[in-house]
């Protein structure tokens, strides 16, 4: 796996919930690492996965594609996905495409 210094996933578990905090830039190089981290969290096994997008510095459509895929997978497999909404400008890719309404965004400070 390609190791890139501009991206980091920190995972913490509490009961059946896994929380993934994404830091850095989410693009075609780093999106597979989030998918792998989600897979590991589900194997833990978590029933609810909360992905914190707030610390991200950048997201492009590879991130958008990933979250759409994960949302579909969660519905098909019966686990819960929640995305902590990022601020400006990283929300732009979700807003411009209209995907913001269709993805399970929640607001929060990451402590909930």
Partner 1 sequence: MSHTSGYPQQQTELELSLERDVEAPRVARAAVTGLCRELELEGSVCQTLVLLVSEVVSNAVLHSAGPHDAPIGLSASVGADAVRITVTDAGEGFIPGERDPGRIDGGYGLFLLSKASSRWGVEAGAPTSVWFELDVAGQ
Residues that bind partner 1 (CB under 8 A): 2, 4, 6, 25, 27-29, 58, 60-62, 64-65, 68-69, 72, 89, 92-93, 96-97
Under a CB-based contact definition with an 8 Å cutoff, are residues 65 and 33 in contact?
Answer: no
**Nearer to partner 1 (CB atom), residue 10 or residue 65:** 65
Q: Which of 64, 52, 55 is nearest to 25 (CA)?
A: 55
**Nearer to partner 1 (CB atom), residue 4 or residue 12:** 4
Place of tokens 């990022």: 86
Supply the minimum distance, in Å, between the C-beta of residue 31 and partner 1.
9
Tell me how far CA of residue 6 lies from CA of 17, 36, 93, 100, in angstroms: 26, 17, 19, 25
**Nearer to partner 1 (CB atom), residue 17 or residue 60:** 60
């Amino acid at each position: 796996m390609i190791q890139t210094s501009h991206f980091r996933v920190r995972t913490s578990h509490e009961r059946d919930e896994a929380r993934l905090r994404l830091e850095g830039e989410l693009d075609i190089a780093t999106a597979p690492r989030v998918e792998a981290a989600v897979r590991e969290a589900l194997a833990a096994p978590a029933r609810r996965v909360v992905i914190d997008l707030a610390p991200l510095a950048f997201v492009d459509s590879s991130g958008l594609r990933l979250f759409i895929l994960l949302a579909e997978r969660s519905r098909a497999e019966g686990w819960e996905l929640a995305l902590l909404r990022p601020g400006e400008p990283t929300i732009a890719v979700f807003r411009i495409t209209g995907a913001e309404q269709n993805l399970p965004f929640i607001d929060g400070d990451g402590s909930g």
